Structure 1
Amino acid sequence: MSPAINLKTVTNNVGWSVLAKTTTFGLKFVTVPLLARILSPEEFGVVAVAHTVVLFLTMVGSAGLAASLVLGRDLESETLHSVFWANLLMACALATGLYVWADILAELLGAADAAFLVRVMAFLIPIQLCGDVAYSLLARNMAFGKDATWSVLSESIGAMTALGLAFLGWGVWALVAQLFVSAVVRLAGLFYASRYRPRLVMSFGKLRGLAKFSLGVMGSEIFNFITFQSPLVIISRHLGLADAGAYSAANRFSSIPNQVVQSALMGVLFPAFSHMNEDRARRSHALMLSTQVSTVFLAPMMFGIWAIAEPGMLLIFGPQWAYAWPILGLLALSKGILTPCSTFIPYLKGAGQSNVLWWVAVIRAILVYGCVTYGVMTGGLVEAMIWLCVANALTLVGYSWAVFRTDGTAFLSGLYVTSRPMVTALIMAIAVRFLLDHIKEDVPSAVLQVIVCGLAGSIIYAILVLLTERELMRKLLQLLRKRQVPEASVGSGS
């Protein structure tokens, strides 16, 4: 039986997820810069390209079936086992195809030298897909504390393995080993935490019952993947592995705030929204509140990275990567533009609107692919990132329209309320950037520049939020007071 969903349940699980992501953030904050100092941009680029293929096929192989397990009201063991074996059979087929056609795929991606890594990393696909059912059971039961524990453990062991091998001179294999070690440890942890044990049971009838929703989710995930990974492929094909490595390193670091906050929220909110399907008003209120809160926390992180990208790149990645600071800044800016969308995917999935999710993902993928390609062909890496910002701005408007229309919320008022914290964060970032330009000569140290600008940005943003988001602050204080009351639920407190 699924647990009751109330404010305490959601905040506890978000807390566990954020703790796990924060720990992962700490590891990446340390390991990515260290690895960047040991390894070359070409080595980062070749692994990034090979991993792109694996991630895409893993997403295809899951076919959205695991998400259906979270949404379903009652699950039978026959359904669980059928999904497990369907995932595993698909994973083995995809891994075999990837191994056989590795040379062709690597050539198509503009990285022929990555073919040998593509073959090796094909074995990641079955390892990753085997844990889908176990994770879905944890998510369905809102047991994110268990998932957080194993996520932290797997990422820690993987990161330490990569650093150890890199210092020993293993080069690109250090990054490959990190992926395999993390995947194996996480798989073992998911089975242990969920207590799920597969049995040799298969029912095509059960799979057909999940098909409609799962295919919509699969389609949206495929096009979301294209959105996230197509810039790397375009850059690799047209600008070379060195630029692909610069993009990959900057993208890894600029993605950390999203991985800490956004992915934690998305994982928890999907099952939470699915439990609210019988109460539309409560679900609508939860959508607006969660979107505002996530934007308040995420937007200043992303725009803040843009503001201090120049000294930040030098400080974190070292002199050999200093030239790529505009890439880091523009990537952070592009992600900051989308912060109001952080809750839209779990909302549409939880509401069972996989068809809307699919169409939005298709349009967004076309926008990103077209804009980045135009930027690469007419300029270079910096121009491509500028056009990525344009694509994301258009995505924000389109995504908001689709979600608010589904929810029955007025588009303009909904967009204004959810985007207001983003605008506030952007004003703060512009002020910090102005400050940085005026203290460069007097404060030549990159460390001091980051510290001074970080403190100034925090103060400016805090003042602006208190001036513009007083109603939200009052609402959050009310929810915090009610959190101790068992009956207090996610949608209350309006």
Structure 2
Amino acid sequence: MTKCSNQTGCPTPDTGGPAGPERFLRTDFLQSDLKARSVRGGAVTLSAQGARFVLQTVSTLLLARLLAPAEFGLVAMVIVAINFVALFKDFGLSFATIQREQISQAQISTLFWINVFIGVCLSAIAAASAPFVARFYAEPRLVPLMLALSPTLLVSGLLAQHQALLTRQMRFAAIAIADVGAMIVGITVGISLALGGARYWALVGMMLSQNAVNLLLVWWLCPWRPSRPTRGAGVRSLLTFGGNVTAGALLNYIGSMADRVIIGRLWGPLPLGLYDRSHALVLMPMLQINPPLAAVALPALSRAAATPERYARAYVSILRQLALVTAVLVPILIVNASTVIRVVLGPSWAAAGPLFGVLGFAALL
């Protein structure tokens, strides 16, 4: 058997486990050194997040100077609509895969095909809703943007179970390689298009290319392939779990995105662009810590779920770390709001300074 890393290649090459697709589903080999794997996974994930932060900062610095605030606002209108539809792209099935102690090839395959079917349906719904979104915002340019970005929902369906399997087996280096590699390609495409005068289409090109490369890399790094879907695979409990996750995400999204819908509807793309970038900058420090920590914690907590006391201690520890990061970083940004906006976004974004300060206080709450 060809040897490869537990993080990036075959997940369990030397554990004496079964051959075939089942080797991508096992988690029993994690139990012997769960804490050490979590620590290593955290280190890898935080390193990757550092790379993402650098890339995101560079792209923000450049694109904010190449594109006007109104162009960011125009794309933000579409993103709100696409992301709302995207809430149902996975139906929480990837979380079900990660947290399930035992899962079969038939179950994973059935979930994969359900994800693909949902992705096809949601892509069609997003494309069909383009005229209505454009009418809601009184902005006809949104129609081609919605049509261009709707295929990303299908890509998400194709990615969901492969990413879940990587996370399930705590193969965080593989996830990092795919994410960072796709981000590099996407940013390169976006900046190139912006330099070429593509305007807001540069942002669309960046997202499309990043999605496509991420799909290719994840499928390469996780060579699991689905079988034909079968009835009676025993996925009903997984669907129920996924439905609960989706319902929670829906409520959270409505609360977090209502502001963008109102601003875009009442005042148009320019104010929305200023608000959207200010909001993104406020959240940037937390987004460098929270998602990586959650990505490492979810499979570790799932493996510890059988021991409630151990689970509770780990969960409380994670919440304390998140609160500490927020309490330290956000006030620094608030005090230096105008400077941050001027340095990161450039002088044409000066009107975003007061917004940045106000949003910083909201983030602390």
Find the residue that maps to 1:198 and give its secondary structure.
coil
Question: Could you state the TM-score of these two structures normalised by the residue count of structure 2?
Answer: 0.88
Q: Deviations over 1:85-104 (max 9, x none)?
A: 11111111111122123111
Q: Aligned letter for 2:319?
A: T
Q: Deviations over 1:277-323 (max 9, x none)?
A: 22222222212222222332333222211111111111221111112
Q: Does 1:203 align with 2:231?
A: yes
Find the residue that maps to 1:130 and give its secondary structure.
helix
> Alignment partner for residue 257 of structure 1, among 270, 282, 285?
285
Distance 2:211 2:232 in 1: 29
Question: Could you state the TM-score of these two structures normalised by the residue count of structure 1?
Answer: 0.66
Q: Unaligned regions of 5+ residues in structure 1, if any?
A: 338-392, 394-494
> Partner of 1:127 in structure 2?
155
Distance 2:90 2:139 in 1: 26
> Partner of 2:4 in structure 1?
none
Q: Does 1:158 align with 2:186?
A: yes
> Alignment partner for residue 341 of structure 2, among 307, 313, 332?
313
Q: Does 1:50 align with 2:58?
A: no
Distance 1:98 1:294 in 2: 34
Find the residue that maps to 2:225 and give its secondary structure.
coil
Q: Deviations over 1:170-193 (max 9, x none)?
A: 111110011011111111111112
CA contact (8 A) 1:83 1:207 kept: yes
Q: CA deviation at 1:255?
A: 2.2
What does residue range 328-477 of structure 1 map to in structure 2 within 5 Å? 328-335=356-363, 337=364, 393=365
Distance 1:152 1:72 in 2: 28
Find the residue that maps to 1:195 and give its secondary structure.
coil
CA 1:56 to 1:203, structure 2 compared with 1: closer, same or farther past 3 Å?
farther
Q: Deviations over 1:122-180 (max 9, x none)?
A: 11110122100001001110111110111111111111111111111111111001101
Distance 2:108 2:176 in 1: 22
Distance 2:317 2:94 in 1: 27
Q: CA deviation at 1:110?
A: 5.3
**Higher Cα Rg: structure 1 or 2?**
1
Distance 2:232 2:146 in 1: 32
Q: Deviations over 1:343-373 (max 9, x none)?
A: xxxxxxxxxxxxxxxxxxxxxxxxxxxxxxx
> Alignment partner for residue 198 of structure 2, among 170, 188, 209?
170
Q: CA deviation at 1:205?
A: 4.9
Q: Aligned letter for 2:254?
A: I
Identity %: 22
> Partner of 1:115 in structure 2?
143
> Alignment partner for residue 222 of structure 2, among 168, 182, 194?
194
Distance 1:234 1:112 in 2: 18
Q: CA deviation at 1:330?
A: 2.3
Distance 1:203 1:173 in 2: 43
> Partner of 1:147 in structure 2?
175
Larger helix proportion of the pair? 1
CA 1:100 to 1:293, structure 2 compared with 1: closer, same or farther past 3 Å?
closer
Q: CA deviation at 1:11?
A: 1.7
Q: CA deviation at 1:56?
A: 1.9
Q: Deviations over 1:100-130 (max 9, x none)?
A: 2311123235544312201111111101221
What is the RMSD computed on CA atoms of the aligned residues? 1.6
> Alignment partner for residue 69 of structure 1, among 92, 97, 102?
97
CA contact (8 A) 2:282 2:360 kept: yes
CA contact (8 A) 1:111 1:237 kept: no
Q: Does 1:33 align with 2:61?
A: yes
Q: Deviations over 1:355-397 (max 9, x none)?
A: xxxxxxxxxxxxxxxxxxxxxxxxxxxxxxxxxxxxxx4xxxx
> Partner of 1:105 in structure 2?
133
Find the residue that maps to 2:95 and give its secondary structure.
helix
